[in-house]
Structures are given as structure tokens and as C-alpha cells.
Amino acid sequence: MKIGIYGYGNLGRGVEAALYNAEDMEVFGIFTRRSPDSVKSVYETKVYPANDVLKYKNDIDVMIICGGSATDLPTMTPDLAKDFCVVDSFDTHAKIGEHFLNVDATAKSGNKTAVISVGWDPGLFSIARIYAGAVLPNGKDNTFWGRGVSQGHSDAIRRIEGVADARQYTVPIEETVKKVRSGDMSDFTARQKHLRECYVVAKEGADKQRIEKEIKEMPNYFADYDTVVNFISAEELKKNHNALPHGGTVIRSGSTGKNNENSHTVEYSLKLDSNPEFTGSVLVAFARAIKRMNDKGDFGCKTAFDIPPAMLSPLSDEELRHSLL
């Protein structure tokens, strides 16, 4: 199957790496809103201007859209879904319902199939939650993220006056993870669940005390957490904080039995060296599923919940029963 990559930032590069690793897939090309000459593919994939995309609508089986959730995907995905089967990683939780309906309408108008909000959260973590919840209806989910780089929080720090660069790590609080793992079903606060660890490069002459205060008091991003701010040099940031690791854990504790006397814990964890490459790999597996569903005449917008796991695997049903069941 032939796959297009729409957008070539960190995620687009992660998708490209995953595609070259998939034996049943071929990379058609990269589409960019920048000047194609300015985009250098690591694999020397052909680069096309985004404006020309419709010229290739019959040459591409699935388009993987690698834009941002804040401003790109809300319009990009419904637009492209008219003419392409598409995959996106939309993660603005409060707007998923609306995004789903928009994409569903345009995909159906062109007999296309789309899947939105795949990656690891939303995505694989959502899948872990739905299975665990269906099996243990008497129970409670907890999700911990990290230790890993939150790009949203890093960007928020960079917008503060006097900050040259920054990296923010979300760190799960091990003591709370242990409690949840042992079946504690209390409600934990944001502060009890995660610590925020910041590495900040200040501009010359900037007031570090003010920067630290502004970070720690920033509503939504930092105010509800214990936050540690470390000022470091640009060289140190580049040397020690250049990667984008991430991960996390979804834990469901629940009980069964006539008097709920038996406790069970289901845990799904990821430890990722490269968040964009792993997320890209998830998008590629879902691209495979979307092509197959479209071939079967199953049109419209899907989520990870609507797709049988076998659709994601390159193995045949017989091989799957033999080797993975």
C-alpha cells in the first residue's frame, strides 16, 4: 500500500522511519506547506508542495496527517478526508467528539475511511482502558505519564520573557504509582500524581527569580503541581536534553466476587526512547487497518475502539491464531 505523509516535523519523521520499516508499505512522498526545497528527508523521500496534494489522490492509499492538534488538524483532517483515507493523532481531549463528527461527514461524502486520535494517548492507552474497563466494571483507572518530555509544557516555558530555551519533564510520583498498583482506589490530586521538572536556558541578564516564579505559578500548566526549575546552559540543554523520551502507565484496579472480595490489577506501560518515532509507528499500524477497512467498504470516521486488532497486523488471520493467540 502507498502512504503519504502530510507534514514533516518530529512526528512526520517518526512516521517516515516506521514506513521504511513496514514490508507491506511504500512511501509515496512527503507533503509540506514549506518550500519543498527546504525540506530534507532523512530517507530522501520525494517532497511535494501541500497545495498540489489533490493531484495525487488516486496514487495514495492512506495519508498520515502529521499536524498539530491546536490549529492544524481541526481543519486539515476533515479537508483531506474528502479525497483520502486518513490517519491523525488529534489529542485535544475536549474536542474529540466534534472533530470525530466533522471527519465522519467528509469521509463519508467521498467513500473514504479515517481514523482520528491514534498514537499512545489517545491511542494505545485508550485501548488499554477500554479492555480493562469492560472486564472489570467495578474498578477505577489511573493514568501516569512520564518520565518524559512534554512538548506543550516546554513550549509554555519558552513563551516566558527572558527564556531562550526549555525542556519540561513530566515525572510520575513513584509513591502514588505504588499505591495505585497495590489496589488503592483513592482520588489522587494532580500534585500527588506528577512532578514537573524543568530545565531552562535563560537569556543573558534575565531575572531568573522572576522566571522561576512565573513558571511555578502558571495556571493549568504548573500551578497545581510541585515544580522544580533548573537553570542550565544552552550547551548542557543540547547535550543532555536533546532527545524526546516519554512513556507512562495505565492502571485499572477492580474487584470481583459476590462481596467484591477479590482484587485485580491490570497495568499497561510504555517506556519510549523517542516519543515521535513510537507515535509514528502507531499511526502506520492504523494506516494499514484503514486501507483494509476501506477496501471492505467500511467508510467514515473511526477511532481505535472501532477497529479489530487483526486489522493492524501484517500477519494473516491464520498466522495470528497460530503465533500470537
Distances from the Cα of 296 to the Cα of 5, 25, 78, 290, angstroms: 23, 19, 21, 10
Single out the residue of 310, 283, 284 nearest to residue 296, CA to CA: 310
Q: Are 113 and 88 in contact (CB under 8 A)?
A: no
Q: What is the CA radius of gyration of the chain?
A: 22
Nearer Cβ to a second copy (43/238): 43
306 binds a second copy (CB under 8 A): yes
Work out how close the CB of 217 gets to a second copy at its nearest, in angstroms, rounded to a whole number.
Answer: 31
Q: How far apart are CA 8 and CA 16, in angstroms?
A: 9
Q: How far apart are CA 322 and CA 316, in angstroms?
A: 10
Nearer Cβ to a second copy (110/314): 314
Q: Sheet harboring 2-6: ordered strands across? A: 47-49, 26-32, 2-6, 62-65, 85-87, 113-115, 300-302
Nearer Cβ to a second copy (228/272): 272
27 binds a second copy (CB under 8 A): no
Q: How far apart are CA 304 and CA 124, in angstroms?
A: 8
Work out how close the CB of 48 gets to a second copy at its nearest, in angstroms, rounded to a whole number.
Answer: 22
Q: Sheet harboring 226-231: ordered strands across? A: 148-149, 163-172, 194-202, 226-231
Identify residues 51-110 at the interface with a second copy (CB under 8 A). Answer: 93, 96-97, 100
x-or-dash string of contact with a second copy, 194-233, rule CB under 8 A = ----------------------------------------
Nearer Cβ to a second copy (151/206): 151
Please identify, among the stretches 161-169, 209-217, 220-228, 297-305, the one whose residues bind a second copy according to the rule CB under 8 A.
Answer: 297-305
Nearer Cβ to a second copy (109/263): 263
Q: How far apart are CA 129 and CA 131, in angstroms?
A: 6
Work out how close the CB of 41 gets to a second copy at its nearest, in angstroms, rounded to a whole number.
Answer: 11
Number of residues that bind a second copy (CB under 8 A): 70
**Can you tell me which residue has the cell 467521498?**
110
What are the b/e assignments for 44-54, b being 16+ CB within 10 Å?
A: ebebbeeeebe
Identify residues 105-144 at the interface with a second copy (CB under 8 A). Answer: 117, 122, 124, 126-131, 133-138
Q: Residue type for 17, please? A: A
Work out how close the CB of 237 gets to a second copy at its nearest, in angstroms, rounded to a whole number.
Answer: 20
Please identify, among the stretches 28-36, 60-68, 148-156, 277-285, the one whose residues bind a second copy according to the rule CB under 8 A.
Answer: 277-285
322 binds a second copy (CB under 8 A): yes
Binding footprint of a second copy on the chain (CB under 8 A): 14, 17-18, 20-23, 42-43, 93, 96-97, 100, 117, 122, 124, 126-131, 133-138, 256-258, 261-274, 277-278, 280-282, 285, 288, 303-310, 312-314, 317-318, 320-322, 324-325
